[in-house]
Chains A and B, each alone.
Chain A
């Protein structure tokens, strides 16, 4: 199975509005997810300019944009994907 790609925008805006917490997400993921998810940081997705700033922080999960991301919403989305694939 291909790994789930979690990309976190680490531009100034996203970082200040919560991406700093998202970078620690691996420490709260269930053990059995650890080798199913690949977490990476992106310099800037440029979304705060293209979209609106209050939708930050932005993440992409398997390429799909998630707005106002926080640890709970990201874990939920990953959980959905894992359940679908199972």
Chain B
């Protein structure tokens, strides 16, 4: 993928009150070597497990067809034919929106039955340069819209299920629901106030707003998917002393330039940076709870956050493995791990600079716990960040 732009894709969902599964489904895929990303959102007929299955079948098929560049009307026809027919309403469908995003080329948006997408450049709504509509021969009551747009760095696409646009239907203030216009105004207002808002925060804000418009209960499944093209935010994590002492200086300098966020994990590592950069770590004990289960984090002025090493990284790893991109870390998570994960969430590219010298004290059998090797923990974190959190990760050994 083009290194100057990062495609941030996030979706926030709420399940209809009383149901166990979300009747909307989404799937996201990045095709690095093609400078391409695909996002699909589907709303299955009805709600609960049945709807979830319909939606999931739809997103899975749509993703496969798009990826293999299948010709459009044919692909849509196949999808509708494949879905089972509802015995009550005699319709066999799940609505969907597909975004086939090409960096530097034409981005296609295909919609059937879902609320129309929103394309924003800053707070300005951008119209498509081409719009076509076709009706499926086998399913004449279904119209499919295709839109061609060009996405630039800084642009956002917002795709929502009707749980968003119809939120609050029937209330005095929202006779016809929040509608697309309400959603659009809300998004524009947020972007006006926070121009750099991430896809994740915007999707969260829109979904929460839709939820709060519903009186008392969530009347329909809510999904809001946001795609944001932006300059990548780089976070650098330095951990462990370099194998050769004469590399300490080069290692330390990596903390001072080229990243938006720097974290130094490890006491010895912090000592090396203090010595090489002439800085001092300050730890404010008032910021942590007495029962926090990790050593207190600190700040190295002008450089970044400092934490203890292996215990903190192991905790970060297990929290990331347990959590998922849309649900925040538990409120009782220890402070040092929370601060690192917050920074990871805000970043697109995470660079680990790993010193490979082994701390012999950590191998001492007198320690009450067995400590994992730094390199293994970093590898596990990298793996979960790439697979589950769609982050780009680089590891450099020193």
Contact of B285 with A41 in the complex, beta carbons under 8 Å: yes
Instruction: List B323-369 residues whose CB lies under 8 Å from chain A.
Output: 359-362, 364, 366-369
Contact B306 A12 (CB under 8 A): no
B298 contacts which of A19, A41, A46, A48 (Cβ < 8 Å)? Answer: A41
How many residues of B are in contact with the other chain, CB < 8 A? 28
Contact A41 B366 (CB under 8 A): no
Instruction: Using C-beta atoms within 8 Å of the partner chain, give the interface range for chain A.
Output: 20 to 34
In the complex the two chains form, what is the Cα distance from A39 to B306 in whole Å?
19
Complex interface bits, A30-65 against B, C-beta within 8 A gives 1, otherwise 0: 000000000111111010110001101000000000
| Total A-B residue contacts, Cβ distance less than 8 Å | 80
- Tell me if B309 and A39 are in contact (CB < 8 A): no
Q: Which of A20-28, A69-77, A78-86 lines the interface with chain B? A: A20-28
Write the nearest CB–CB distance from B306 to chain A, whole angstroms: 6
* Complex interface residues of chain B between 362 and 391 (CB less than 8 A to chain A): 362, 364, 366-369, 371
- Across the interface, name the chain B residue whose C-beta is closest to A13: B361
Q: Which residues of A contact B308 (CB under 8 A)?
A: 10-12, 15, 43
**Inside 8 A of A23's CB, which chain B residues have their CB?**
285, 290, 296
Interface string of B297-322 (1 = CB under 8 A from A): 01000000010111100000000000
| A47–B96 CA distance with the chains assembled, in angstroms | 62
Show 23 A/B contacts (Cβ-Cβ < 8 Å), sorted by A. A10-B295, A11-B267, A11-B295, A11-B308, A12-B266, A12-B295, A15-B295, A17-B367, A20-B293, A20-B295, A27-B290, A41-B283, A41-B285, A41-B295, A41-B298, A42-B281, A44-B267, A44-B268, A46-B268, A49-B268, A53-B361, A53-B367, A54-B366
Interface residues of B (CB under 8 A from A): 266-268, 270-271, 281, 283, 285, 290, 293, 295-296, 298, 306, 308-311, 359-362, 364, 366-369, 371
